[in-house]
Structure 1
């Protein structure tokens, strides 16, 4: 069975986005040669990118205009999209997942191939975590306290312990953390 791996960059105070949609300027604080190499390595590990609608639309708008190795990875990878409102998806190699989100992702995990990666998509990730569908969580920590924004982890009232698998400090002052969720029995 394929694994679901989450990749997000967040601030020290827990935001994955500033106060405005797509305010990701703090990503520049961690971006550099090391994170670029890490991004390309992740591209080798995946066969499907999984997105919620908002992230899919934003990523498609951005990456279809970009060039380079990461743009090639993003544009050429298979993409699966979870949405209640989209009727079709036009970005190269994209498909809509139909039906219940949890059931659709469970079916996706059973398909042959390498890992499924989720970039961004905080609402989708929240659903996946609550339903024990996340196998690994990778966080890039930007060395900044933003003070306000959209929190990466949504308030749920439930505790989820994460087992640290690996840490990688970056020359930019950021850190990449690899965690495995420890779902309660």
Structure 2
């Protein structure tokens, strides 16, 4: 069975973005050769890149206009977007999945002969999948910055979720890449 792996950059105070959507300046505090190499390495593990509607739109708008090895990877990967409202998904290699996220992810995980499913960003989608017990691994790059305000990576929903640390790697930029198994 395919695994579902979530990847995000998070500030020390738990935010994945600032106070406005796509406020991601804190990513620059951890970006460098090491994180670029890690990103490309992760790309080799990805069978399907999964997004919620809002993250899909932002990623598509950004990566379709970029060049370089990361852009090549992002544009060539198989992608899926889960949405109740989106009518089309025109980014290369994207399929649109309408309806309930958990049902679609259960089906994606059963697909044979493919590498793992990765979710970048998409905090609302991830909150749903985490509640449903569908996330297998969480990868977080902890950025050495306190934003003071912003969107929390983990949504307060009153449900405790336990993780087991699998690996921690420090970056020359001061960031730490943490890999957790979801229990």
TM exceeding 0.5 = yes
Q: Which runs of 4+ in 1 moved over 2 A?
A: none
**Partner SS, residue 92 of structure 1:** coil
Distance (whole Å) between structure 1 residues aligned to residue 107 and residue 160 of structure 2: 27
In the other structure, the counterpart of 1:150 is 151
Unpaired runs of at least 5, structure 2: none
Shift of 1:88: 1.0
Distance (whole Å) between structure 2 residues aligned to residue 158 and residue 166 of structure 1: 24
In the other structure, the counterpart of 1:125 is 126
In the other structure, the counterpart of 2:28 is 28
Distance (whole Å) between structure 2 residues aligned to residue 101 and residue 38 of structure 1: 28
Cα RMSD after superposing both structures = 0.6
C-alpha distance after superposition, 1:58-90 (max 9, x if no partner): 000000000111101100000010111001100
What pairs with 1:97-112 in structure 2 (closer than 5 Å)?
97-112=97-112
**Partner SS, residue 96 of structure 1:** strand
Distance (whole Å) between structure 1 residues aligned to residue 159 and residue 137 of structure 2: 18
**Partner SS, residue 44 of structure 2:** helix
In the other structure, the counterpart of 1:62 is 62
Shift of 1:47: 1.0
In the other structure, the counterpart of 2:169 is 168
**Is 1:137 aligned to residue 138 of structure 2?**
yes
C-alpha distance after superposition, 1:131-173 (max 9, x if no partner): 0000000000000011000000000111111100000000000
**Partner SS, residue 75 of structure 1:** helix
Distance (whole Å) between structure 2 residues aligned to residue 77 and residue 167 of structure 1: 26
TM-score by structure 2 length? 0.98
Q: How many residues align?
A: 182
**Partner SS, residue 124 of structure 1:** helix
